[in-house]
Amino acid sequence: MKLRLIKKRKTPAISITPRRMGFTFKGLEDQPYWFDNDPVLTHVLNVMSLTFPDGERFFVDSVRALRDQAKGPDRQKDISGFIGQEAMHSLEHQAFNDLIADGQYDDIVNHALAVTRKLLAGARKYMSQQQQLAATAGLEHITAILADAILRRPDLVEKMHPSVRNLWVWHAIEETEHKAVAYDLYKDVSDNYLERQRTFLSGSAYLVGFTSYFTWQMLKRDGIHRQPLTLAKGLWKGFGYRGVISSVIPAWFSYLKPGFHPWEDDNSALIEKWRASLPQVKEKNAA
Ligand SMILES: [Fe+2]
Ligand SMILES: [Fe+2]
């Protein structure tokens, strides 16, 4: 595992612009295990995608509820961009999730969606608006480091089936563009270190538990649970040397530092590098 030196830098000037892509995923049916023909990692990413539409609506609501407390000249514009981008992500991943269900996994998908909605309903009911924003800031760190792994590793993007590659690259670009929005707003509202860590740790634990459980259900449905070699291969690709998940663990820890800021790792050059690879679309006005 390669550790990168992290330098403290200023937030780069980035325009946070929503873009509706209208992906159709033509050809996905030819390779259902769309990530590297690997059932384990494909289902891990599928299960994560299931959480996006409802999860990102929660992010939007938590930011919108406290946006009037934002300080700084460009903050309202950035928040509008964030809200617009997450709304687009919900729509595009909903289309992708409809394909994942595809008859074979309907009951598992419905169960996963019901659990997600129940967890989020509990969060809305029992957590204060400030705590909900803290949770959003922490979960946005997780999406940002996964996005960084995708954009920094062309070899990972190459392993995705062409029909879904643009969805994940587009989402990774926009998660990078707006990675500091919820965090900066939380700092404006409270800057409570312990609350930030509590919600980050519990959010991380829920995400790991949820993803592991439902990935296992999908693997069982496919009969992969009886194929130890396939399982071991998938786990190695996820958690072994330069694995998809293991490579983001050092960046996950960086959130625990009291003086952390999402842009201390300035990966903004990756945005321009990858944007040229996407189909050109008309940009949406921010919400
Ligand atoms: Fe998103
Ligand atoms: Fe996000």
What's the pTM?
0.91
CA of 221 to the centre of ligand 2 (A): 31
Please write the tens of the pLDDT for every residue from 47-95: 999 999 999 999 999 999 999 999 988 899 999 999 999 999 999 999 9
**33: helix, coil or strand?**
coil
Residue 150 lies in a domain: yes
**Number of the ligand closest to the Cα of 53:** 1
**Number of the ligand closest to the Cα of 176:** 2
Neighbours of 190 (CB within 10 A): 17
Round the average pLDDT of the chain to a whole number and report it: 91
Distant-in-sequence, close-in-space partners of 129: CB < 8 Å, separation ≥ 6 = 62, 65, 66
Residue 241's pLDDT is 86
Question: Which protein residues have their CB within 5 A of the ion that is ligand 1?
Answer: 56, 89
- Tell the residue number behind the tokens 């062309």, with chain if given: 154
CA of 215 to the centre of ligand 2 (A): 22
CA of 130 to the centre of ligand 2 (A): 18
Residue 103's pLDDT is 77
Rg (CA), the chain: 18
CA of 7 to the centre of ligand 2 (A): 23
Integer Cα distance of 212 and 230 in angstroms: 16
Burial label, 214 (beta-carbon count in 10 A; 0-12, 13-18, 19+) = buried
Integer Cα distance of 8 and 220 in angstroms: 45
Residue 10's pLDDT is 65
Residue 11 lies in a domain: no
Q: Which of 111, 174, 102, 91 has its CA nearest to residue 140?
A: 174
- Put residue 88 in one of left, alpha, beta given phi > 0 → left and psi -120 to 50 → alpha: alpha
Residue 285's pLDDT is 53
Residue 286 lies in a domain: no
Residue 3's pLDDT is 46
- 22-43 average pLDDT score: 92
Q: Which of 140, 137, 151 has its CA nearest to residue 268?
A: 151
Tokens of 176: 């990078």
Burial label, 132 (beta-carbon count in 10 A; 0-12, 13-18, 19+) = buried
**Number of the ligand closest to the Cα of 86:** 1
CA distances from 176 to 90, 143, 228, 253 (A): 16, 9, 36, 18
Q: Is the pLDDT of residue 119 over 80?
A: yes
CA of 147 to the centre of ligand 2 (A): 10
CA of 86 to the centre of ligand 2 (A): 6
- 208-212 average pLDDT score: 97
CA of 218 to the centre of ligand 2 (A): 26
**Predicted confidence band of residue 2 (pLDDT cuts 50, 70, 90):** very low
**Number of the ligand closest to the Cα of 142:** 2
Counting residues of the chain whose pLDDT is more than 90, the rounded percentage is 79
Residue 17 lies in a domain: no
Residue 282's pLDDT is 59
**Predicted confidence band of residue 151 (pLDDT cuts 50, 70, 90):** very high
Residue 153 lies in a domain: yes
Integer Cα distance of 34 and 120 in angstroms: 29
Tokens of 116: 């997600």
Please write the tens of the pLDDT for every residue from 175-206: 999 999 999 999 999 989 999 999 999 999 99
CB 64, CB 83: distance < 8 Å: yes
Residue 38's pLDDT is 96
CA of 62 to the centre of ligand 1 (A): 14
- 30-48 average pLDDT score: 94
CA of 179 to the centre of ligand 2 (A): 6
Residue 65 lies in a domain: yes
**Number of the ligand closest to the Cα of 171:** 1
Residue 7's pLDDT is 45
Residue 20 lies in a domain: no
Tokens of 182: 């919820």
Selected residue with higher pLDDT from 223 and 1: 223
Domain that holds residue 112: 34-275
Q: Please state the domain count of the chain.
A: 1
Residue 265 lies in a domain: yes
Residue 148's pLDDT is 96
CB 139, CB 62: distance < 8 Å: no
Lowest mean pLDDT among 67-76, 85-94, 128-137, 274-283: 274-283
Q: Which of 165, 167, 168, 163 has its CA nearest to residue 25?
A: 163
